Amino acid sequence: MSMSDTTAPALAEPERRVRPVWTAGVVLVNVGINAAFFAPLQVLLGQQAAAFSEPDKEAILALVTGAGAAVSLVANPLFGAFSDRTTSRRGRRVPWVLFGAVLGAAALIALAGAPTVAVMTLLWCLVQAGCNGAYAAITAAIPDRVPVPQRGTVGGLAAMGQTAGILAGAVIASAVAGNFAAGYFVCAAALLAGVVLYYVKNDDVPLPAQARPPFSLAGFVRGFWISPVRHPDFAWAWLTRLLVNIGNHMITLYLLFFLSDAVRVRQTEGIEPAFGVLILTGLYAVMVIITSVVGGRLSDRLGRRKPLVIFSSALIAAASLILAFAPTWPGALLGASVLGIGFGCYLAVDFALITEVLPTALNRGRDLGVINIANSLPQVLAPLIAFPFVTLWGGYVALYVAAAVIGLLGAVFVVKIKGVD
């Protein structure tokens, strides 16, 4: 990381360990964002689409979620860049965490009464913008405030918060029992509640106005291109995250159909495929929560990131191969467990690694936003890659072998990163 831009305290490399209450605030923000985000994606938007038109519900849902995904690709780096330039007395990140939460909550409340599909689509795009704005800011707050020897631990706890938020979203969706309007109100409340502790107990250091470079629209736009020639470690980190996430999405994408058509759990175990997905998802989530904390802390103690990233990527690939060659219910349980162990460790350690290859302290929010494209883009790419494997090129065995290969490529390319052990 270049140190030429660290003359202002807000841009200095942090040295003082953060307080537990600050870390708890970061975790709760992640819980709130993910609960508000995934309950609609998992259930509520589908129920609302069906309320508009039962015959067209699939097309409506595809339109709404596709538009929202497009917004998320842009919103994360854009709001991250806005937060980089913020000179509020409350710091660079706090105003955007609060603004994103308020925007997302307001849009969720309005979504409950959307009169048309067009309005529903617009409001979901605003939810995506708000949640991604808050997420961009809270993610950048970690390298702003957390010293490198503590970064794996805090990153692991943040990843735990994300997974806990996804589980909370599933609980919200189940608790409202088909009343999607009530679900949106609960999601809005969760989003706002999640930011309270961070807002009150943050340690953001304000950026002096004189430390902010003059604004140029052309320069602002050009800044989103981070040259892989000038910053090869950043480029390799981006590529490895993209590949591992594509592999992970390919594993989980057709899980319902895999249990129904390949494992045949209804006939062999007397389990409905949808309930089987719930069991596997819960098992996976528990493992992610445990290993994200353990893996992050272990990487801090070892002082090394790359070996654990490579190991966790290999575990993700192993989980995919278990599903490919043991298409049974016990095999699925084992595969989900191994996948959760690998992905939890990966989330924590890879995040810590990435924070150590960011090009400048001045643009941490923007650069992490660019990294987060590697989290969002696989949601678009994985279905395009997976579909021909399932339908044309060998079915689920071919799909899961391909997912393993793609994930292992991510592990291989981690070796190319030279600036981190």
Q: Does the CA dihedral 203-144-36-153 come out positive or negative?
A: negative
Instruction: Determine contact, residues 188/131, Cβ cutoff 8 Å.
Output: no
Does the residue 125 lie in any domain? yes
> Collapsing DSSP states into helix, strand and coil, what is residue 2?
strand
Banded model confidence at residue 11, pLDDT cuts 50, 70, 90:
confident
For 280-335, what is each residue's pLDDT tens digit?
888 999 999 999 999 999 999 988 899 999 999 999 999 999 999 999 999 999 99
Q: Domain check: are 199 and 116 in the same one?
A: yes
Question: Can you read off the two tokens belonging to residue 205?
Answer: 């250091």
Q: What is the CATH number of the domain that holds 127?
A: 1.20.1250.20
For 198-235, what is each residue's pLDDT tens digit?
999 887 889 998 888 888 888 889 999 999 999 999 99
Q: Domain check: are 299 and 358 in the same one?
A: yes
Question: Among residues of the chain, what percentage have pLDDT more than 90?
Answer: 59
Q: Domain check: are 332 and 401 in the same one?
A: yes
Residue (of 137, 135, 128, 30) closest to 82 by Cα position: 137
The vertex-4 CA angle with 227 and 231, nearest 5°, equals: 20
Q: Domain check: are 16 and 52 in the same one?
A: yes
Distance of CA 409 to the CA centre of its chain: 20
Q: Domain check: are 170 and 250 in the same one?
A: no
Residue (of 153, 131, 132, 133) closest to 142 by Cα position: 153
Residue (of 338, 279, 378, 349) closest to 69 by Cα position: 378
Q: What average pLDDT does range 340-367 have in this prediction?
A: 91
CA distance 363 to 86: 11
Number of domains composing the chain: 2
Q: Domain check: are 203 and 306 in the same one?
A: no
Q: Domain check: are 262 and 158 in the same one?
A: no
Question: Can you read off the two tokens belonging to residue 300?
Answer: 């801090």
Banded model confidence at residue 143, pLDDT cuts 50, 70, 90:
very high
Does the residue 302 lie in any domain? yes
Does the residue 84 lie in any domain? yes
Would you state the pLDDT for residue 252?
A: 82
Please, what is the end-to-end C-alpha distance for the chain in angstroms?
Answer: 14
Does the residue 223 lie in any domain? no
Residue (of 170, 148, 197, 140) closest to 13 by Cα position: 148
Residue (of 113, 110, 136, 132) closest to 123 by Cα position: 110
Does the residue 252 lie in any domain? yes
Does the residue 61 lie in any domain? yes
Q: Domain check: are 158 and 304 in the same one?
A: no
Q: Domain check: are 288 and 158 in the same one?
A: no
Q: Domain check: are 186 and 323 in the same one?
A: no
Q: Domain check: are 191 and 241 in the same one?
A: no
Banded model confidence at residue 7, pLDDT cuts 50, 70, 90:
low
Does the residue 268 lie in any domain? yes
What is the rounded (10 degree) CA torsion for 59, 132, 255, 174? -80
CA distance 247 to 410: 9
Is the pLDDT at 141 greater than 90? The verdict is yes
Instruction: Determine contact, residues 72/133, Cβ cutoff 8 Å.
Output: no
CA distance 120 to 118: 5
CA-atom Rg of the chain in angstroms: 21
**Domain span holding position 64:** 9-207
> Collapsing DSSP states into helix, strand and coil, what is residue 393?
coil
Instruction: Determine contact, residues 67/80, Cβ cutoff 8 Å.
Output: no
Q: CB-based contacts of 10: which residues, under 8 Å, 6+ apart?
A: 91, 92, 144, 204, 205, 206, 207, 208, 211
Average pLDDT score, the chain: 90
Is the pLDDT at 169 greater than 90? The verdict is no
Select from 207, 223, 254 the last residue of a domain. Answer: 207
Question: Can you read off the two tokens belonging to residue 347?
Answer: 């989330």
Does the residue 96 lie in any domain? yes
Banded model confidence at residue 3, pLDDT cuts 50, 70, 90:
very low
Would you state the pLDDT for residue 1?
A: 39
Would you state the pLDDT for residue 5?
A: 47
Q: Domain check: are 88 and 178 in the same one?
A: yes
